[in-house]
Amino acid sequence: MDVRRCPADVTVQTDGPARRRAVNWLEPEFVGRDGAVLESRCTKVSGSEFALGATKVDCFAAGMAAAGCSFVITVVGTPPAYAYSLIHSFVEYAQ
C-alpha cells in the first residue's frame, strides 16, 4: 500500500470571540498493490470543529491499520478588537 496524498498541517484562526473552528481538508488517498484506491478513515472527519491548540489527526486505509499518515490542525485565537485599538493607539502615541 502507498500513500498517494496526505493533507499538510493546517493552521487556522478563529472568527471573533469563537474558541472553536471547523476545518476542511482534502481526504488522504491510499493505493493498494493492485493500483486500486482504498477507502480512508481518519480520527476526525473533514469539517469537524477543533478547539484552540494543536490536534493530531491520524488517517489510515480501511482494513490496513499498520499504514497511514498524520497531520496537525492548529487553531489560534483572534485577539479581541479592543486589543487592536490599544496597540494602534500606543503606536500613534509613540510616534
Of the candidates 2, 16, 28, the residue with the CA atom closest to the CA atom of residue 83: 16
> pLDDT of 40-78, one tens digit each?
999 999 999 999 999 999 999 887 766 689 999 999 988
This prediction has a pTM of 0.76
Q: In this model, does residue 84 exceed pLDDT 70? A: no
**What is the dihedral sign for C-alpha 47, 9, 56, 74?**
negative
Strand (E) or helix (H) holding 1: none
Q: In this model, does residue 79 exceed pLDDT 80? A: no
Entry field: residues in the chain:
95
Q: In this model, does residue 94 exceed pLDDT 60? A: no
The whole-angstrom separation of Cα 66 and Cα 30 is 13
Domains detected in the chain = 2-94 (2.60.40)
